[in-house]
Chains A and B, each alone.
Chain A
Amino acid sequence: MSSNTKPVLLYGGILLIGIFLPLALPAFQTQISVMWMMVTFALTWDILGGRMGYNSFGNIVFFGVGMYAAASVQHELYFDIGQFEVISDQFNLQLTPDKYLFGLGLGMIIGAVICVALAWVLGSGILRLRGHYFAICTLGLGVAVGELAGTIDYIGAGSGMAAPVFPSAMGSAGLFYSYFFFILVVASFFSLKWLYSTRFGLAINAIRDDEDKAEAMGVHTLRHKTVAWTISAFFLGITGGLFGNMTGFIEPLEVAFPTITFGIFMVAMALLGGKGTLWGPVLGAILFHIIKETTWTYFLGWQWIALGVIIIVNVVFFQQGIMGYLEDKYPHWFGVEVEESNAIDDQAKEATQ
C-alpha cells in the first residue's frame, strides 16, 4: 500500500462512520454526540497537557462559560430574560428553525469569543505557574467558577436555566447534534494537526521538555502558553454551547462545570490513548466512552468507584497510553527513522569504521 492511500482510507473510513453511525443506531444518537464531544475534550486537553506539559484540571471552565454564554445569547435574542427564573416549565421556549439556528450559531460564536478572551486574561496570570502549582491552581479555578456561577441570578443561579427547545420542524435533534459534534471533531482535529506542524507546535514541545532552556533561548514562552490555552478554550467554548443546547437544561455544578466528571474525563481519556500524540486522545476518548456506556449500567451505582480505579490503574501502570505504547514498540509505524537508510551514508559509515 502506498503511503498516500493509507490516510485516505483512514479518514474516509472515519467520515463514513461519522455519517452512517447515527443513522444506523438511531437510539444511540445522543450517546454518539457525547462520544464526539469526548473526543474534542481529549484533543483540547492534550494541547496543554500532552504537548506543552501543563496539566490543567480547569479546562472545564471554558466548557461551562461557553455553554452559559450561548444560552444567554439565545435568550437575549428572542425572550425576555428577566422572566427566566420562573419559567423553566411553563414558559414557551419554542422557536422557528431559522431563529433557532441563528441563535445557536451566534451564541456559539459569542461564547467562543468570550472563552478566548477569558483564557487570555486568566492565562497571562495562571500560566506563570508551573508544575504542581499550575495543576492545583486550575483545579481551584474550575471549582471557583462553578461556585460563582451558582450565585449569578442572571443565569438562573443555583437552580439553572433552560436552553431553547429544538424545533420539531427540523427533524431529529439527535441526528442534528451528532453531525454537529462530528464536524466539530473534524475541525478541531485538523486545526490541531496543522498547528502542531508549525513553529507553535515545536515551541510548546520545547516548553514541555525544558521551559528554562526555552526561556534562555529567547522563546516567548508566556505568549505561546497563553495562545495554547486560548485555542483550547475556543473549541471548548463551542462544545459547551452545543452541549447546553442538546441537554436543554443548564445547571452550574453538574452540567456546566462538572470538575469531577467531564473535567477529569478529559485527563483520563488523553492519558488512556496516549498524551502528546495526535491519535491518542481520539482513540482514548472513543474507547473510554464506549467502555463507560456499555459497562456503566452493570455497576449498579459502583460506576464512579470504578472511575477512580480506572484513573489510578491508568496512571500507575499504563502511563504512556495506547499510542505511546505502540510508538515505543513499533516506531517505524509512526515514520520515526532513527538511522539513515541512505546507501551513500552507509558507505560513508563503513569508510569511517
Chain B
Amino acid sequence: MTNIIEVEGVSKSYGGVVANHKVSMEVPVGRITGLIGPNGSGKTTLFNSVVGYQPIDEGSIKFKGQEISKMNVQQIARLGLLRTFQQTRIYGNMNGVQNMLISVSHRNAAFLDMFKPYPAEMKDKAEHLLEFVGLYQKRKLSAGDLSFGQQKLLEFAMALMNDPEVLLLDEPTAGINPTLINGLLDRLHRANTEFGITLFVIEHNMRVVMNLADNIYCLAHGELLAHGTPDEIQNDQRVIDAYLGAH
C-alpha cells in the first residue's frame, strides 16, 4: 500500500494558539481515509495546510513524494489534489453546466488553450456528472439559486469534473437533509471505486464516517490522538473521552 499524501510533523499556530502540533498522517492511494475530532481540534487547519491556504510553521507535506508545503493553492490543485469547502463555494451567477465546464482540469492547460471553445465531449461529461449527483434537471438554473444541499452536490460534481487524484472533502454531509445522506454516501463510494479517486474526508457524523472510511485519524487539541480502522476507533477509550470532553 503506497501513500499518496504524507504529512510529517506539521505544526501550525495562529498567534499564540496552537492549531496543529507535530501532526503526522498518511493517506493511502485509492482508499477512503477519514479525519475526525471534536470542534476546534485542528482538522480544517490541517486541510488548509495541505492544499496551500496558509504556510506551515514546521514539518513537511508530500504529495506523491513531492514536497508541496511551499506551493500555492493553484499549483497544488493542478497537481490533482483538490478540496471542497466547509462553507460550500460555487460560482453563483453561472448556471450548473457552466460551473461544471470551468471546473475542467487546468493541469495541462497551455497558454492558448484559454481561447478554445469547450468540445462536445466535455459538455457530455458535465451533463453526465450532473446526472450522477442528481442535478441534471437543474443544470440551467443559476447556481446561486440552488438550495444549500444542491450547491453541495454541485460542488462535489465540479470536483469530479476536475479528475483529481485526491479529493479532500470538508464535512460533505453537513447541512444536508438526513434522508439524502445515504444517497451521498453511495456516490462518495462510487467516486472512489468507479472514478478511482482517493478520498480524504473530514466528517462529524460518526455513522457516516464509520460507513465510509477504511481507516480513520482522530485529532484532539491539535494533536494526533488515534489512528485505526473504524472498529478500532469506535472502541478506543481516548477517542471516546475526547468526544465526551474528558480531556
Q: What residues make up the interface of A, taking CB atoms closer than 8 Å to B?
A: 195, 197-200, 202-203, 205-206, 208-210, 212-221, 223-224, 227, 336-340, 345, 349
Contacts and interface: CB of A to CB of B under 8 A. Distances in A.
B77 A209 contact: no
Nearest to A205: B94
B93 interface: yes
Contacts, number: 94
B74 A221 contact: yes
A218 B114 contact: no
Interface string B81-122: 011010001111110001001110111010101111110000
A322 B105 CA distance: 36
A220 B89 contact: no
Contacts of A221: 74
Given A199-B114, A217-B103, A206 B94 contact: yes
A199 B90 contact: no
Contacts of A197: 117
B102 A218 contact: no
18 contacts: A198-B115, A198-B117, A199-B102, A199-B114, A206-B94, A213-B90, A213-B91, A214-B102, A215-B73, A216-B73, A216-B82, A218-B74, A218-B77, A218-B162, A219-B102, A340-B137, A345-B137, A349-B137
A218 B106 contact: yes
Interface of B: 51, 72-74, 77-78, 82-83, 85, 89-94, 98, 101-103, 105-107, 109, 111, 113-118, 137, 140-141, 158, 162
A202 B90 CA distance: 13
A200 B115 contact: yes
B160 to A, nearest CB: 12
Q: Which 3 A-B pairs have the closest CB atoms?
A: A218-B77, A209-B91, A218-B78
B141 A218 contact: no
Contact of A203 (B92, B102, B117): B102
Given A197-B117, A345-B137, A215 B74 contact: yes
B74 A220 contact: yes
Given A199-B114, A205-B102, A337-B140, 19 more contacts: A198-B115, A199-B101, A199-B113, A200-B115, A206-B94, A208-B93, A210-B91, A213-B90, A213-B91, A215-B77, A216-B73, A216-B83, A217-B77, A217-B102, A217-B103, A218-B78, A336-B140, A338-B140, A340-B140
Nearest to B145: A338
A195 B115 contact: yes
A218 B107 contact: yes
Nearest to B92: A209
Most chain A beta-carbon contacts within 10 A, residue among B91, B115, B117, B137:
B91
Contact of A199 (B73, B93, B116): B116
Contacts of B85: 213, 216
B115 A205 contact: no
A206 B102 contact: yes
Contacts of A212: 89
Nearest to A199: B114
B162 to A, nearest CB: 6
Contacts of B137: 340, 345, 349
Contact of A220 (B82, B94, B106, B118): B106
B93 A209 contact: yes
B163 to A, nearest CB: 11
B64 to A, nearest CB: 16
Contacts of A338: 140-141
Contact of A198 (B73, B105, B114): B114
A210 B73 CA distance: 14
B115 A199 contact: yes
A181 B109 CA distance: 36
A290 B132 CA distance: 52
Contacts of A219: 74, 102, 106
Contacts of B115: 195, 198-200
Contact of A202 (B51, B101, B105, B107): B101
Contacts of A336: 140
Contacts of B73: 215-216
Nearest to B103: A217
Nearest to A221: B74
A217 B72 CA distance: 12
Contact of A205 (B78, B98, B114, B141): B98
A206 B91 contact: yes
Nearest to A209: B91
B140 to A, nearest CB: 6
A191 to B, nearest CB: 11
B114 A224 contact: yes
Contacts of A202: 94, 98, 101-102
A304 to B, nearest CB: 34
B89 A213 contact: yes
B118 to A, nearest CB: 6
B168 to A, nearest CB: 10
Nearest to B137: A340
